[in-house]
Amino acid sequence: MKIHTLGKNQIVIEKDGEYTFFSYDTKIAEYSANCGVIEVGSKWDYSKTTLKHFKQFIDNFTNMDYLSKGQFYVLLNGDNQDYIIKADY
């Protein structure tokens, strides 16, 4: 297991090809490098700081490119369930 710091109180835990992004003690997203799927919680855009670090997480730990908040929202709510999943957290 490896812990990466994205900013104050923003961490990514890496374990066995899984990357889990936390802001404070809230799970924001989880990415599986093994199957290329990202699971995104409801607080991914909770604040400007969380959004900023979520972008870093997407850019640095997934095979996706973060385009903009609006474009990501469209992806999250569209027909992309093969690689983007809305989570219940």
pLDDT tens, N- to C-terminus, the chain (89 residues): 999 998 899 999 999 999 999 999 999 999 999 888 889 999 999 999 999 999 999 999 998 877 788 888 887 777 666 667 777 76
pTM: 0.87
> Token pair for residue 27?
């799970």
pLDDT at 11: 97
Nearest to 31, CA basis, from 59, 62, 10, 53? 62
pLDDT at residue number 37: 87
- Cβ atoms of 29 and 41 within 8 Å: the answer is yes
The reported pLDDT for the residue numbered 33 is: 92
